């Protein structure tokens, strides 16, 4: 008898809970806040938690608060899949932000597609949105766009022969392949193609090989983590005096710190407005959004923002914008439709305009060519 009573009370309490939750918009997230991709997922998770709090303090969307359910998938695609299913079936979210890496994105993507839940990915690969999937969008530029931006800059400098040194991690390998594919379009020839392990401590042998290759005019280093910092230091150590291009994977102030300001001087990479937040002019279209995000993030966590946190910021801004415009912010289908109609939303990464054919919505102008000058990032004019 007592058991039955307890059961009934528990059931009633549960029903009460779900009843209360009806007045909220349930947003789900699965990010790699720990594990190998923590440098991506950690700022992303912090950004989303901060933005949800801000939004709710300001009264939410049309008076409805956002209830965030955030899982840490540790960069494991299997876990990401489990969490995506749990988000949809148990937590009954109306939209998902997440997938810090391409691997975890692919897991979440299949759940989102089959369940009809709008999903904004924070990962790089072009295969996420090409071919276009109904419910899948993404905020970061693709690595192909980074290659194109770099080669455009090389073309302007009259550089035609390039030595590449790439990390063998997923990011480096993917960008290496993309760059080799598009180099020809810009009249650039890859004359040397070297690699290094993600945790290697010295790359002077590879760089010596590149230096001894005839006619190398510049070095391009796709990769993230410590590799690019060590490559930069090794280039300086060897006195190898050609322009060095890094990728958007190391677009942060930490890179200059790790490589050392002297060695990093003159390094160029395609980055976003976030990296030059403090030197953006006030009439820059991204000034407001970048400044308010960096200020809030510094206040909340006492850390500098990163490009990756910026991807999460933009995903959240896109989602909120779509919910506000949609006929019903608790209906996944309505949010998806509104999302696809996004036009000219200014984010930290660039200005987004989605269409049924384009679920990335950025072009090359979103990237800015940046150069290290006197120990800080400066835009290249």
- The DSSP bridge pattern shows strands 376-379 and 368-373 to be antiparallel
Nearer to other proteins, 233 or 313 (CB): 233
Exactly one of 10, 199, 295, 355 binds other proteins (CB under 8 A); which one? 199
Applying CB under 8 A, does 214 fall inside the site for other proteins?
no
Using CB under 8 A, count the residues that bind other proteins. 34
Applying CB under 8 A, does 329 fall inside the site for other proteins?
no
Q: List binders of other proteins among 231-270 (CB under 8 A).
A: 233, 236-239, 254, 257-258, 260, 262-263
Applying CB under 8 A, does 12 fall inside the site for other proteins?
no
Applying CB under 8 A, does 216 fall inside the site for other proteins?
no
Q: Which tokens is 367 given?
A: 């990237």
Applying CB under 8 A, does 323 fall inside the site for other proteins?
no
Segment near other proteins (CB under 8 A); pick from 173-181, 196-204, 349-357, 373-381: 196-204
Element (H, E) at 78: helix 77-89
Cβ within 8 Å of residue 92, ≥6 positions away: 26
Rounded CA-CA distance 343/122 in Å is 19
Rounded CA-CA distance 370/266 in Å is 9
Give the shortest CB-216-to-other proteins separation in angstroms: 15
Strands (E), 21-153: 25-31, 66-72, 95-98, 119-121, 136-138
Nearer to other proteins, 235 or 320 (CB): 235
Applying CB under 8 A, does 164 fall inside the site for other proteins?
no
Render the burial of 283-307: b for 16+ CB within 10 Å, e for the rest.
eeebeebbbebbebbeeebeebbbb
Phi-psi region of 209 (alpha: psi -120 to 50; beta: other; left: phi over 0): alpha
Give the shortest CB-54-to-other proteins separation in angstroms: 23
Exactly one of 55, 125, 183, 230 binds other proteins (CB under 8 A); which one? 230
User: Where do contacts with other proteins occur on this chain (CB under 8 A)?
Assistant: 34, 36, 38-39, 42, 194-197, 199-202, 204-206, 208-209, 212, 225-226, 229-230, 233, 236-239, 254, 257-258, 260, 262-263
């Amino acid at each position: 008898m007592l058991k039955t009573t307890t059961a009934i009370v528990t059931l009633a309490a549960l029903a009460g809970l779900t009843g209360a939750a009806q007045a909220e918009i349930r947003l789900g997230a699965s990010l790699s806040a720990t594990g190998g991709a923590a440098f991506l997922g950690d700022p992303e998770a912090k950004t989303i938690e901060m933005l949800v709090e801000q939004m709710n303090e300001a009264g939410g969307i049309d008076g409805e608060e956002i209830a965030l359910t955030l899982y840490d998938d540790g960069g494991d695609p299997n876990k990401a899949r489990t969490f995506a299913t749990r988000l949809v079936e148990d937590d009954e979210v109306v939209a998902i932000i997440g997938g810090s890496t391409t691997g975890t994105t692919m897991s979440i993507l299949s759940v989102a597609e089959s369940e009809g839940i709008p999903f904004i990915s924070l990962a790089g690969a072009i295969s996420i949105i090409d071919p276009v999937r109904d419910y899948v969008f993404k905020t970061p530029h693709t690595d192909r766009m980074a290659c194109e931006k770099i080669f455009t800059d090389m073309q302007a400098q009259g550089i035609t022969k390039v030595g590449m040194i790439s990390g063998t991690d997923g990011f480096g390998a993917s960008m290496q392949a993309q760059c080799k594919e598009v180099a020809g379009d810009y009249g650039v020839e890859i004359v040397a193609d070297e690699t290094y392990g993600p945790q290697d401590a010295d790359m002077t042998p590879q760089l010596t090989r590149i230096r001894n290759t005839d006619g190398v005019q510049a070095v391009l280093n796709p990769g993230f983590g410590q590799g690019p910092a060590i490559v930069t230091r090794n280039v300086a150590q060897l006195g190898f005096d050609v322009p060095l291009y890094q990728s958007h994977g190391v677009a942060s102030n930490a890179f200059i710190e790790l490589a050392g300001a002297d060695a990093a001087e003159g390094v160029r990479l395609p980055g976003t407005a976030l990296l030059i937040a403090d030197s953006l002019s006030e009439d820059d279209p991204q000034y407001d959004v970048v400044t308010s995000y960096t200020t809030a993030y510094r206040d909340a966590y006492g850390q500098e923002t990163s490009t990756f946190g910026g991807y999460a910021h933009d995903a959240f801004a896109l989602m909120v914008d779509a919910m506000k415009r949609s006929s019903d912010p608790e209906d996944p289908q309505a949010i998806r439709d509104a999302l696809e109609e996004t036009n000219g939303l200014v984010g930290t990464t660039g200005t987004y305009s989605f269409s049924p054919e384009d679920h990335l919505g950025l072009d090359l102008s979103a990237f800015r060519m940046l150069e290290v000058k006197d120990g800080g990032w400066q835009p290249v004019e």
